[in-house]
Amino acid sequence: MTTEPVYIIAGTRTAIGDFGGALKDFAPAQLGSLVVAEAIRRAGIAPADVQNVVLGQVIQSEPKDAYIARVAAINAGVPVETPALTLNRLCGSGIEAIITATKGIALGEASIAVAGGAESMSRAPYVLTSHVRDTAVWNTPQGAAVAWTRMGEGNIGMEDYIREYAAKCPGRPLSLEVIVTGPRNFNYRDPKFWEAYRTTPAWEFARFLALAEKGTPKEAPPRLTGEAAQAKEREDLEKSIAWTKEFLAKL
């Protein structure tokens, strides 16, 4: 293992586009090929000088993505004999690719490597679900409180959501998650509260305040165990299903 430092001598990336924007028609492997080729050019080396290619990716959008490091390397002119590794460490995939390439150099497996990440959310597969759970929110002296409720007992506009879902997805099932909890306090009047919510958009917080203003306090459900707890959960589920069916029948 070498004790010499490992250096990053060149770097580049594509522009970051909006979802469904100007880059939506470019496959991740295409974008990866362009970036690998440009990084090699900026480093002032030849593609044949590269001895390892490592790319990270989270969501595969087509079969080529399973081998995106190999596809990007070959299309960038790197010889087919050069090893290429595709890895997935979720949100850390790109940095993990750099770490992996660095370790390879430190171990003497390569002297020059290309590493990075490629992702295209516009081309990733999506699943539309109707998973809903009603919620109540109301004001407290310290800020606001939030509790999950039976369907129809909250004040977050569940009726509007169901109405819009039924109009846009006719004939599709509605999936309910029924959890009834005690209040969770959001003491936003305390400056320390905002340490975990610094990036909250003002418009979103304003909407939260408007909901809390219209809400009424909910008592915490009784603490039950065993058969009593199961009976209470069954009652909450049955009441929620009955309310939802009745509401849908009126549409």
All structural domains of the chain, each given as residue ranges with its CATH number in brackets, are 28-123 (3.40.47.10), 135-250 (no CATH)
pLDDT for 238: 96
Q: What is the pLDDT of residues 50-106, one digit of tens each?
A: 999 999 999 998 888 899 999 999 999 999 999 999 999 999 999 999 999 999 999
- The single-letter code of the amino acid at 75 is N
Q: With 70 as the cut, is the pLDDT of residue 128 above it?
A: no
Please name the residues in contact with 153: beta carbons below 8 A apart, sequence gap of 6 or more.
134, 136, 218
Q: What is the 3-state secondary structure (H, E, C) of the chain?
A: CCCCCCCCCCCCCCCCCCCCCCCCCCCHHHHHHHHHHHHHHHHCCCHHHCCCEEEECCCCCCHHHHHHHHHHHHHCCCCCCCCEEEECECECHHHHHHHHHHHHHHCCCCCCCEEEECCCHHHCCCCCCCCECCEEEEEECCEEEEEECCCCCCCCCHHHHHHHHHHHCCCCCCCECCCCCCCEEECCCCHHHHHHCCCCCHHHHHHHHHHHHHCCCCCCCCCCCHHHHHHHHHHHHHHHHHHHHHHHHHC
- The single-letter code of the amino acid at 240 is S
Residues of the chain with pLDDT > 70: what percent? 98
Specify the range with the lowest mean pLDDT, choosing from 79-83, 121-125, 148-152, 236-240.
121-125
Q: What phi, psi does 145 have (nearest 5°)?
A: -130, 150
d(CA 247, CA 251): 7
Q: With 70 as the cut, is the pLDDT of residue 2 above it?
A: no
Band of the pLDDT at 23, cuts 50, 70, 90? confident
pLDDT for 1: 61
pLDDT for 98: 95
